[in-house]
């Protein structure tokens, strides 16, 4: 489980660093997995459970999913920063705008797995711990995405004074101008140059 968790952290960090170009934003998402895992273990301990193979399996299933909530919250906060908001305002508004969407996505996964905890007989002992760990990890990731991530962003992300609503729209329109023609005319060149340009923005 630790190996898969590390792979997920590294790949997610690379994607966030590539698209947002911020080491601090990447650090915010890196907090989601360990905090969610620790919260799950604490709750399971309070419920009288012990760490076993099935609980570790449930945590392994949830590792790739717990990052999603934090990424959604972070991306929306970063959007507000690019629109010219201060870090505190961006964190408050960005988190508030997506809280219901993130909650709905989390509950969909929880509803899928929670009935497994109501099984009887041998199946209960085999799979209830796995489903319970998965559900608790997802609920913990929602709390992290709505509390820890906005707090981290408000304290550690910097404002972008050169960005604003009209500037962001103009920059987006400029970057997309001629994109279909460029892709059709020089597909291989565009595929090679686009990641290089993205990387050059934060190197």
Distance of CA 77 to the CA centre of its chain: 12
For the chain, give the mean pLDDT: 77
Which DSSP symbol is given to 197?
Answer: H
Which pLDDT score is estimated for 197?
47
Closest to 72 in 3D by CA, of 153, 5, 164, 175: 153
pLDDT at 202: 45
- Which sign, positive or negative, has the C-alpha torsion 119, 125, 127, 133? positive
Identify the band that residue 1 occupies on the pLDDT scale cut at 50, 70 and 90.
low
Report whether pLDDT(14) > 70: yes
**From start to end of 113-191, where are the E strands?**
none
What pLDDT sits at residue 12? 73
d(CA 202, CA 17): 9
Q: Report the range of poorest mean pLDDT among 35-44, 106-115, 137-146, 160-169.
A: 160-169
Most confident region among 11-15, 145-149, 191-195 by mean pLDDT = 145-149
Report the C-alpha gap between 165 and 154 in whole angstroms. 20
Question: How much is the pTM?
Answer: 0.72
Q: What is the pLDDT of residues 148-199, one digit of tens each?
A: 999 998 888 887 765 554 444 444 444 444 444 444 444 444 444 444 444 4
Query: What is the pLDDT at residue 55?
Result: 87
| 114 DSSP 8-state letter | G
Assigned token pair, 6: 């590390």
Q: Look at residue 143 and tell me whether its pLDDT is greater than 90.
A: yes
Half-sphere exposure of 196 (CA within 13 A, CB side): 5
Q: Is-contact 162 83, C-beta < 8 A?
A: no
Average pLDDT, stretch 111-137? 85
pLDDT > 70? residue 18: yes
pLDDT of amino acid 163:
53
What percent of the chain shows pLDDT beyond 90? 21
What crossing angle do the helices spanning 2-20 and 23-30 adopt, rounded to 10°? 150
Cα separation, 41 vs 35, in Å, equals 10
Mapped onto helix, strand or coil, the DSSP state of residue 186 is coil
CB 137 within 8 A of CB 59: yes
Read off φ and ψ for residue 131, nearest 5 degrees: -65, -40
């Amino acid at each position: 489980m630790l190996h898969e968790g590390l792979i997920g952290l590294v790949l997610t960090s690379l994607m966030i660093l590539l698209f947002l170009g911020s080491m601090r934003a990447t650090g915010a998402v890196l907090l989601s997995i360990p905090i969610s895992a620790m919260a799950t273990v604490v709750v399971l301990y309070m419920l009288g459970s012990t760490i076993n193979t099935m609980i570790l399996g449930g945590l392994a299933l949830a590792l790739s999913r717990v990052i999603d909530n934090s990424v959604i919250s972070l991306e929306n906060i970063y959007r507000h920063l690019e629109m010219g908001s201060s870090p505190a305002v961006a964190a408050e508004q960005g988190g508030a705008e997506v809280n219901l969407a993130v909650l709905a996505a989390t509950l969909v996964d929880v509803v899928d797995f929670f009935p497994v905890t109501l099984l009887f007989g041998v199946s209960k002992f085999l799979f209830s711990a796995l489903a319970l760990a998965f559900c608790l990890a997802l609920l913990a990731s929602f709390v992290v995405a709505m509390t820890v991530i906005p707090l981290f962003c408000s304290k550690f992300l910097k404002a972008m004074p050169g960005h604003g609503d009209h500037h962001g729209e103009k920059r987006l329109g400029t970057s997309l101008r001629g994109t279909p023609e460029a892709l059709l005319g020089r597909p291989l060149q565009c595929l090679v140059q686009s990641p290089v340009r993205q990387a050059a923005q934060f190197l």
